[in-house]
Amino acid sequence: MKSYLWNMFTSIKNGQMAKKSTVIGPRKNICESSLKVLWNEGFITGYRISRENNNKLEILLKYTKNGIPAINSIKFLSKPGQRTYYSSKQIWKLDSSKVFIIFSTSSGLKSINECKKNRLGGEPLVIIS
């Protein structure tokens, strides 16, 4: 299930390094919810359903005026072979000013700031900086 998510984040990372304006990802619910979190936090310009194939998403990548990518690095935290979970108390100990973490919680994918605000724990998926 999450292999779609890992492939999408890898294509975003590779597209940013290659200075592409758009990349293609699968149209799955988990991918759309993670793209919604990235869009709300300002890491991507947006996303839309592909015109050629309804099962694909076009992800619009974001760059600064100098051409520097908005996403410098993406690291995967929790992997299928080694799952990690954080309680709401452990999330408060993480510094959210330097890195951005997407968590899989009981109420969907949330950013680290939303988890702190709603006092939710969960599985950290990726660190974006």
Taking the C-alpha atoms of residue 57 and residue 26, their distance in angstroms, rounded to an integer, is 6
Burial of 116 by CB count in 10 Å (0-12 exposed, 13-18 middle, 19+ buried)? middle
Give the three-class secondary structure for 115: helix
Q: What percent of the chain has pLDDT over 70?
A: 98
Q: What mean pLDDT do residues 43-67 have?
A: 95
Q: What mean pLDDT do residues 100-106 have?
A: 94
For the CA atoms of 4, 128, 125, 89, the dihedral, rounded to the nearest 10 degrees, stands at: -160
Q: What is the number of other CB atoms lying within 10 angstroms of the CB of residue 126?
A: 21
Q: What mean pLDDT do residues 42-71 have?
A: 94
pLDDT for residue 79:
78
Give the three-class secondary structure for 38: helix
pLDDT for residue 68:
93
With tokens 């968590």, the residue in question is 103
For the CA atoms of 97, 100, 105, 109, the dihedral, rounded to the nearest 10 degrees, stands at: 130
- Whole-number average pLDDT of the chain: 92
- Residue 87: alpha-carbon gap to chain centroid: 20
Contact 103, 109 (CB under 8 A): yes
